[in-house]
Amino acid sequence: MHWIALQWLPEEDEDAEDAPASWPSPEVLGWWALRYTPRVAWLDEALLLEVSACERLWGGRQSLMRLMASENPVPASRLRQAQGASSLVALARLRLYAAGQRPPAQVPAALPLETLSAARPHLDVLARLGCRCWGDAAALPRGGFARRFGAPLREALDVAWALQPDHHVWLQLPQSFEQKLELPALAESAAALMGAANRLLGALQLWLRARQRGVLAVELQWTLDLKRCNGVRLPPHEQTVVRTAEPTQDMAHLRRLIGERLARTALAAPASWLRLRSVDTAPWAGASRGFLPDDSRKGDRLHELVERLSARLGPQQVLRAVARADHRPECRQAWQPALGRPAAPAAVPAPQDLSPPWLLREPMPLEMQGEWPCYRGTLRTLAGPQRVETGWWGGGQSAVRDYFIAESPGAGLVWVFRERPSSRFSEATPRWFLQGLYG
């Protein structure tokens, strides 16, 4: 077996350049380690990883160590690491490095007893017995040693010499993400919450990578510090929900969406706590990449642009057309918020249906130039007519129309119709209307 022990320096040793407020919590550091091996456990001050069964998947031990160093969520100067054949040996090496000492050549026999957690309550007695290292203690008679110092110390020495297996309580990822953070100072405005939200988003990214999932919706909630304001009773919390059209692990995009949403939010009272939780996630298939080096497009993708505009302007200001199954052309399209859940799919149009993807809310009357309709120039019909007779089920408002695909000099392809005379209209000259656009 092969163990890796990791230790992060305490916060009181931090300087201004490595602010601990931006660091992940111990729980989140465990999530980060679970990306490399499922056997991760906290033991005293160190995070232990058993990698013998999975290091081959990462290209070998050295490749795994380089990968962990490059993806370390904290500054590399603040991380200590050590390796060993057992968890106790790796932890003892780590403690020697922390004390500025080099591990001995003979391991585990020559390791100092103060590096073994189970031996620390008995160091004075062991020293009087002449025991200075692990090997000295292990050489004492087993029965009397266990009666005098207890079973935990004897078991720890057996684990160090591989006489007993290592047993730990392994870390497990929660089924859903939820992290809460106390703000360093009361936030007077929603924009002041972004600093703490960035730390929570970093934890969310580690959880998503370990679970191999992408987020579709997250809820950011803040706790109000006051119960009343100007005599009005306040709720204990306020929150906002941010949704994405596709599963994502891109925290930069989520950060922009949350920033846009908070910029339009006014706090009812100062906030003291911040909580982020996942509302909806989906399996993560990874980001698609092109085969050519210059195949990637610059800028945001379309759905990211729509999401950012919806967060900035409001969901009711960014709409999309949704097809509807209806015989009436005016009712074949409905406008819904672009971030809403898609409606039930409409019936597939018949092959002879020539309607364009963009329909006007109301048909627009066209001016005539002699016998020809005009829309940004005189129209030239290309296909048609397609006769539509509808409305006999709608309260007697019948309509008989001949639809054409026409070409406009200034607008390109358009969808127009000529109204045929009926009992409602007595004009001899038919009227023309613009119904939709193809461009």
Residue ranges in the chain modelled with pLDDT below 50: 12-21, 345-352, 392-393, 423, 425-426
Q: Quick check: 153 and 122 in contact, CB under 8 A?
A: yes
Assign 66 to helix, strand or coil. Answer: helix
340 phi, psi to nearest 5 deg: -75, 165
Q: Quick check: 203 and 122 in contact, CB under 8 A?
A: no
Question: What is the distance in angstroms between the CA of the first residue and the CA of the last residue of the chain?
Answer: 65
The residue count of the chain comes to 439
Helix residue ranges per DSSP H, 9-60:
26-33
Q: What is the CATH number of domain 178-283+300-310?
A: 3.30.1490.100
pLDDT digits (tens, 9 = 90+) for 88-131: 999 999 999 999 999 999 999 999 999 999 999 999 999 999 99
**So what's the pLDDT on residue 367?**
85
**So what's the pLDDT on residue 13?**
43
**So what's the pLDDT on residue 423?**
45
Ordered by start, the domain boundaries in the chain are 3-160, 178-283+300-310, 329-345+355-437
Q: Quick check: 221 and 241 in contact, CB under 8 A?
A: no
Taking the C-alpha atoms of residue 264 and residue 243, their distance in angstroms, rounded to an integer, is 16
**So what's the pLDDT on residue 327?**
62
Q: Quick check: 319 and 334 in contact, CB under 8 A?
A: no
Helix residue ranges per DSSP H, 131-250:
134-138, 142-149, 151-160, 194-211
